[in-house]
Amino acid sequence: MFLARPSQRHFSVSRAHFKRINVAQLLAQNAEAKDVEVSGWVRSVRRQKKVGFAAVGDGSTLHSVQAVLKPEDAAKLSTGAAVQLNGSWQTSHGEKQSHELKVQTTTLLGENDAEHNPLQPKYQTPEYLRTIPHLRPRIPTNALLLRLRSHVIATLTNFFHHQGYVQCHTPIITSSDCEGAGEVFTVSSSSSSPTNHSYSPTTSTLNPPSQQQPDHFFRTPKYLTVSSQLHLEALAQAVDKVWTLSPTFRAEKSDTPRHLSEFYMLEAELCFTTDLSDLMNLVENLLKTVAQTLEASTLGAEILQARSTTTSSSSSSSNTDTDSATQDTSLASAKTLSTRWASLKAGSFPRLTYAEALSHLQNAPPSTTTNFTVPPTWNTGLQAEHERYLTTTLGPVFITHYPTAQKPFYMLPSSSPSTPTPETQQQHPPTVQNFDLLLPSILELAGGSLREHRPDHLTRALAEKNLSGAGLEWYQDLRRYGSVPHGGFGLGFDRLLGFLAGVPSVRDVVAFPRWWGRGEC
């Protein structure tokens, strides 16, 4: 018979009668309870002669538990230290909380070098916090963003499951540039030479500093994916409806609050559809479900509290989140967030064609917001200032049927291809059956289209975009062997989280943000 070592047996017996519980569960328990064990991090500590107090949180909620400690135990603790507390949950004699944890034993699990810790209990700007992404999540409101991400993923998974969609995992390393912009990261092994080279998949041209060819790990150039769409189209034609939430990469040298080099895209494809409204209805219902679920959740209530004036000003309360993020005036208020969630719940977003959107912009009454730097025309496209005005005046809005010249090769034309006269083309250039969804503050959130499913027409579109030799033969095969009318969309998942949480920069809803010139950790 195997016998446990005395030390192991003693450890298990000494803890056997304590019930491990997280802070969120404990705070929801109004009745007193004995033999409670809580593990977490000290947010603040107060020491008195006869007693000590510590606010302890574990990330399960925005709030913290007030622990009543022996003075000698409190003397050993500092803000940021990891602790395990064993005691009883009792009615509090204080006014700021209904219950508190009367601690019997305190175990210091991890000491904190408080003096040199770069994460200090004071206001620190978002820009500074981005330089310490490995520590930034410890701020309660950033932990809240992690839980928001998890909550929305669970909601989306449940939504698509009940809609009959099959979740798929598409490759991160690909052979093609889906968008045709050439802004891709080239994949190579550490032994590849030369290390200083670039490749454009849209022109199939190697552009090294010398004529020496790199040693490609996959024999031919491969890239980090910019979209899962093309592979999802292949999978959809096996099971009808598919979706994925995957990392995507763009080698854009953009330094704006709306762009990252690595981000997550929610993408879906469905077969047997010939109506663009099917796609827009799906996006609307998806966002409506996310907003409804969030608003009805405890997490939603915590987000609103974190953005409320009461929470922002309660810097003296040990039972609420009072970190630096709550003092950031750039964050959306609780009222603004409630309005945003309500707009998503309402659905039925206006749907304007590109031509109607231009008319709306061109006929806007003169004001400082309509004094556009770039005049809205067919050829210039919709600039950020145009999208901002549209969302300010219309709220969430779908813009459909963009000019063919502005969009990728795979989008289905709005009508049968023809050869328009120069006069006709000047008045109304050919368009495609696509949409962009614009939201206030973040502007473009999602984009989708019906796909060109006809073999000959796809070949012609590739030639017109100078992509005939871009390694898309496999994609053309999908049209040769039993293709059907189909469509899909992509939605910027991190942008959605920023919109829901009222965070203005997408860099602050991603745990470890990467953008041009920056990629700490």
Per-residue model confidence as pLDDT tens digits over 455-488: 999 999 999 988 887 789 999 999 999 999 999 9
Residue 370 DSSP code: S
For position 492, what pLDDT does the model report? 96
CA 461-462-464 angle, to 5 degrees, is 65
| 189 Cβ neighbours under 8 A, 6+ residues apart | 215, 217
Q: How confident is the model at residue 350 (pLDDT cuts 50, 70, 90)?
A: very high
Q: What are the residues facing 66 on neighbouring strands?
A: 55
Q: Which helix (H) or strand (E) holds 6?
A: helix 6-15
Q: In which band, very low, low, confident or very high, does the pLDDT at 311 lie, cut at 50, 70 and 90?
A: very low
Q: How far is CA 191 from CA 195, 216, 457, in A?
A: 9, 9, 42
The tokens for 498 are 């920023």
Asked whether the beta carbons of 431 and 401 are under 8 A apart, the reply is yes
pTM for this prediction: 0.87
pLDDT at res. 446: 98
Please, what are the domains in the chain?
A: 19-110 (2.40.50.140)
* Phi-psi sector, 482: left (phi>0), alpha (psi -120 to 50), beta: left
Collapsed DSSP state (helix, strand, coil) of residue 307: helix
User: Could you give the CA distance from residue 147 to residue 152 in angstroms, rounded to a whole number?
Assistant: 9
Q: Report percent pLDDT > 70 for the chain.
A: 85
Residue for token digits 């099917």?
278
d(CA 60, CA 39): 11
Q: In this predicted structure, what is the pLDDT of residue 467? A: 87
On average, the pLDDT of the chain sits at 86
pLDDT given for residue 181 in this prediction: 55
Q: Are strands 19-20 and 33-47 parallel, antiparallel or unpaired?
A: parallel
Q: What is the distance between the alpha carbons of residues 142 and 119, in angstroms, rounded to a whole number?
A: 13
What 3-state DSSP class applies to 294?
helix
- For 133-159, write each residue's pLDDT tens digit: 999 999 999 999 999 999 999 999 999
**What are the start-end ranges of the E strands in 296-390?**
351-353
Nearest CA to 298 out of 30, 496, 42, 63 is that of 63
Tokens standing for 275?
């109506």
Instruction: Say if residue 446 is exposed, middle or buried (CB neighbours under 10 Å; 0-12, 13-18, 19+).
Output: buried
**115-126 mean pLDDT:** 88
- How high is the pLDDT of residue 243? 98
Beta strands in 219-261 (DSSP E): 222-224, 241-249
Q: Which residue has the higher pLDDT, 213 or 416?
A: 213
| pLDDT class of 213 with cuts at 50, 70, 90 | low
What pLDDT score does 440 carry? 95
pLDDT band, residue 309 (cuts 50/70/90): low
**Mean pLDDT within 48-77:** 94
pLDDT tens string 264-290 = 999 999 999 999 999 999 999 999 999
Tell me the pairing of strands 351-353 and 397-400: parallel
Please tell me the predicted confidence (pLDDT) of residue 161: 98
Task: Give me the pLDDT at residue 212, please.
Answer: 54
The model's confidence at residue 5, banded by pLDDT at 50, 70 and 90, is very low
pLDDT value, residue 486: 98
